[in-house]
Amino acid sequence: MTELSAPKPYDQWRTNPVDRAEDAAYIFGYDLMRYCRAEALKSADPAGLPKSAEELQDQITAAVDVALHNVVDLLEGFFPMDAGPDHKVSYTLSVCVADAAGTTTERIDISPRLLSPAERCGLLAEPIVSIRKCKFAPLTVDGPP
């Protein structure tokens, strides 16, 4: 796995709006890989190689569930995040609705802490975490669970 370079401290972010957005996106990606991907990979047992396609699917599903749960934790501020020694970082999740022409008609921030865990899609929330089935928007990945 490639090592990630630590993001620039906020004080060193570039001033051009496009470059600044890239610096902000980089720190989000860095935290996403550090807290979500890395934790999901830890959940995979390298000694427990799957003996069937079903076991492989179960291991993948479990790792994805860990990653998605940690994305919610990332959005909810569970992990301490910073942009250098003098600045803290937080992230939000929004739903943007656009008309047929692509013009945004409404943007609704749904995270952090605007919905209780039970109100979030089961894909992301405890105790109904599962990539196989989302309580509020049914999704089956490989047939009925």
Residue 33's pLDDT is: 87
80 in a structural domain: yes
5 in a structural domain: no
Number of domains in the chain: 1
Enter the tokens of residue 130: 């599962």
Q: In this structure, are residues 34 and 4 in contact, taking their beta carbons and an 8 Å threshold?
A: yes
Q: Torsion angle of alpha carbons 73, 112, 32, 139, nearest 10°?
A: 80
Confidence of residue 104 (pLDDT cuts 50, 70, 90): very high
Residue 101's pLDDT is: 95
140 in a structural domain: no
pTM, two decimal places: 0.64
67 in a structural domain: yes
Q: Does 124 have pLDDT greater than 60?
A: no
133 in a structural domain: no
46 in a structural domain: yes
Q: In this structure, are residues 57 and 142 in contact, taking their beta carbons and an 8 Å threshold?
A: yes
- Expressed as residue numbers, the domain containing 105 is 10-111
142 in a structural domain: no
Q: Please give the C-alpha separations between residue 53 and each of 41, 59, 66, 131, in angstroms, as whole numbers.
A: 19, 10, 20, 17
Average pLDDT over residues 107-114: 75
Which contacts qualify for 16-20: CB closer than 8 Å, 24 or more apart? none
Enter the tokens of residue 23: 């610096």
